[in-house]
Amino acid sequence: MFTLRNVLLALHVLTAILLIGWLATQTMVVPGAIRGGPENAGFVRTASGYAKKIGPASVVVFLLGIWLVAQSKAYAFKDRWVGIAMVLFVVTAVIGGKFIGDAEQRAAAKLESGQPALEEARTIAMLGGISTLLLVVIVWLMVAKPT
């Protein structure tokens, strides 16, 4: 059926796949590139630049989710799973925007100067794993809608 809810849900899921999926995948690929050494400095710098643009754009996913809840008759902001998902999304955004983004910038600078950036690679991999796990929890909350 072609309803506002279905359109919003489709847009919410598609933007999550495209934007957040990109960022989650990047945290899996960039550490390997960093470990590959200075010849990958350009790739790391480019990936960091994409993340700086895509990260803020992922607020669209959050806003579409808010719109979905606001127009829903089945669930509301007072539902615990909605609040938990929103908090986890903000936590994931901070981890990605601040800590992973900064580590990618430091790694690119080190690689460009010919230095290894193994500590940054470890940081990105660890925080990327945590972020991905939080995203899995968010998806579970949205699918299961536990009370």
DSSP string, 73-118: SS--TTSHHHHHHHHHHHHHHHIIIIIIHHHHHHHHHHHHTT---H
- Tens digit of each residue's pLDDT (9 = 90 or more) over 38-96: 999 999 999 999 998 998 999 999 999 999 999 999 999 999 999 999 999 999 999 99
The closest of 110, 108, 114 to 48, measured between CA atoms, is 108
- Tens digit of each residue's pLDDT (9 = 90 or more) over 89-115: 999 999 999 999 999 999 999 999 999
Q: What is the pLDDT of residue 75?
A: 92
Rounded to whole angstroms, how far apart are CA atoms 143 and 147? 12
